[in-house]
């Protein structure tokens, strides 16, 4: 597939889609049938269904029975930790290997024409965005993710929370399952705005933003405080009626789903005949590029409501410039 049919490339080699970056079609009225169907397909495939399938696999194959999880013990906790490490390694490692090491599709559909690996930078451990990202993933992100998972499974085993089964409350559990991405969007929009307050940005969130040109290992490359906030979305399963598979889905949504905004490409080609996966990465790519826009992923139009939306166009650039100018005047007055 020729990427110039769907976008344009500037002198620096940065590719930009012709399409305007849009909020989810469910918020665009009047509803258009084809757009809604396309949205529903994109809501599930390929990402969310993969995170859910991973949670189902973990529940049936890795997670022990409730009587074992009543007690915190290194055996079952260690196994879950190793499986989470494996899931992160397979997902982030394979996408990084294909797109950024082997560069299988070059810079076709790549938003930023440069590859982070070509530019060593002192802001990163060992001067490498990928090495620091991988180290932060395995040293703190996966341990924090696993700690939340153990807390939720231990709570389930000991009867803390409102756990139920598909037999007892099928519609309720399907509803909770369907709403999980919307909850994550709301939770992270709030947490992310908080992290952009000057003190927290300087001491916590700036680590994530060192990846101005994000790549897969940037996804969980965060300060541990940010990782604790990021994975805390799953605690809602102690409050709402839920099932442990849904709690694990929530954690997979954070732990694996973080890749979505950090792929750096509009499409991943899967076959030489032009078949490709839409990544949905553009909204968050613009956040890494411009910092004070797109705190959320437009599943709920919170950025539009709060005036921080960037649609990727020149009009979006102008709106950002005007907002920054207003902010400067306010600070200097
Ligand atoms: Zn990011
Ligand atoms: Zn940010």
Beta bridge pairs of residue 97: none
What is the CA angle 244-141-97, rounded to 5? 105
Q: What is the pLDDT of residue 317?
A: 93
Mean pLDDT of the chain: 96
In this prediction, residue 1 has a pLDDT band, given cuts at 50, 70 and 90, of confident
Q: Can you give the pTM of this predicted structure? A: 0.96
From the CA of 119, how far away is ligand 1's center (Å)?
Answer: 19
pLDDT digits (tens, 9 = 90+) for 66-119: 999 999 999 999 999 999 999 999 999 999 999 999 999 999 999 999 999 999
From the CA of 15, how far away is ligand 1's center (Å)?
Answer: 19
Ligand nearest the Cα of residue 219 is: 1
Q: Does residue 99 have a cis peptide bond before it, meaning omega lies within 30 degrees of 0?
A: no
Q: How far apart are CA 295 and CA 72, in angstroms?
A: 37
Ligand nearest the Cα of residue 295 is: 2
**Domain membership of residue 276 as a residue range:** 3-332
From the CA of 150, how far away is ligand 2's center (Å)?
Answer: 28
Ligand nearest the Cα of residue 218 is: 1
Contact (Cβ atoms closer than 8 angstroms) between residue 92 and residue 217: yes
From the CA of 256, how far away is ligand 2's center (Å)?
Answer: 18
Ligand nearest the Cα of residue 201 is: 2
Neighbours of 187 (CB within 10 A): 20
User: What's the sign of the alpha-carbon dihedral 312, 315, 321, 323?
Assistant: negative
Query: Does position 275 have pLDDT exceeding 90, yes or no?
Result: no
From the CA of 155, how far away is ligand 1's center (Å)?
Answer: 31
From the CA of 196, how far away is ligand 2's center (Å)?
Answer: 6
From the CA of 303, how far away is ligand 2's center (Å)?
Answer: 13
Q: How far apart are CA 116 and CA 112, in angstroms?
A: 9
pLDDT digits (tens, 9 = 90+) for 5-31: 999 999 999 999 999 999 999 999 999
Ligand nearest the Cα of residue 285 is: 1
From the CA of 291, how far away is ligand 2's center (Å)?
Answer: 6
From the CA of 204, how far away is ligand 1's center (Å)?
Answer: 13
From the CA of 209, how far away is ligand 2's center (Å)?
Answer: 6
Q: How far apart are CA 19 and CA 65, in angstroms?
A: 49
From the CA of 152, how far away is ligand 2's center (Å)?
Answer: 28
pLDDT digits (tens, 9 = 90+) for 106-151: 999 999 999 999 999 999 999 999 999 999 999 999 999 999 999 9
Q: How far apart are CA 282 and CA 285, in angstroms?
A: 5
Residue range 197-216: mean pLDDT, rounded: 98
From the CA of 63, how far away is ligand 1's center (Å)?
Answer: 30
From the CA of 220, how far away is ligand 1's center (Å)?
Answer: 8
Q: What is the pLDDT of residue 176?
A: 98
Number of domains in the chain: 1
From the CA of 119, how far away is ligand 2's center (Å)?
Answer: 22
């Amino acid at each position: 597939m020729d990427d110039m049919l769907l976008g344009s490339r500037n002198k620096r080699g940065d590719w930009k889609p012709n399409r305007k970056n849009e909020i989810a079609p469910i918020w665009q009225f009047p509803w258009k049938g084809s757009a809604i169907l396309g949205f529903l397909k994109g809501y599930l495939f390929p990402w969310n269904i993969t995170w859910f399938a991973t949670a189902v696999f973990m529940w049936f194959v890795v997670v022990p029975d409730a009587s074992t999880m009543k007690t915190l013990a290194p055996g079952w906790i260690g196994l879950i930790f190793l499986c989470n490490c494996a899931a992160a390694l397979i997902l982030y490692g394979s996408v990084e290997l294909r797109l950024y090491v082997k560069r299988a599709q070059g810079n076709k559909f790549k938003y930023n024409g440069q590859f982070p690996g070509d530019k060593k930078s002192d802001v990163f451990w060992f001067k490498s965005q990928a090495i620091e990202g991988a180290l932060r993933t395995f040293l703190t992100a996966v341990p924090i993710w696993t700690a939340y998972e153990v807390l939720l499974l231990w709570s389930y085993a000991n009867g803390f929370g409102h756990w139920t089964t598909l037999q007892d409350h099928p519609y309720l559990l399907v509803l909770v399952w369907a709403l999980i991405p919307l909850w994550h969007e709301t939770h992270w929009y709030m947490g992310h705005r908080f992290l952009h307050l000057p003190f927290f940005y300087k001491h916590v969130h700036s680590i994530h933003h060192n990846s101005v040109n994000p790549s897969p290992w940037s996804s969980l490359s965060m300060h541990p405080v940010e990782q604790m906030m990021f994975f805390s979305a799953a605690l809602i399963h102690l409050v709402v009626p839920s099932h442990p598979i849904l709690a694990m889905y929530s954690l997979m949504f954070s732990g694996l789903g973080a890749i979505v905004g950090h792929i750096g490409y509009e499409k991943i080609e899967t076959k030489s005949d032009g078949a490709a996966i839409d990544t949905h990465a553009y909204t968050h790519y613009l956040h890494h590029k411009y910092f004070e826009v797109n705190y959320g992923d437009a599943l709920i139009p919170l950025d539009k409501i709060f005036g921080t939306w960037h649609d990727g166009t020149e009009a979006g650039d102008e709106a950002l410039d005007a907002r920054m100018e207003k902010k400067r005047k306010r600070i200097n007055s």
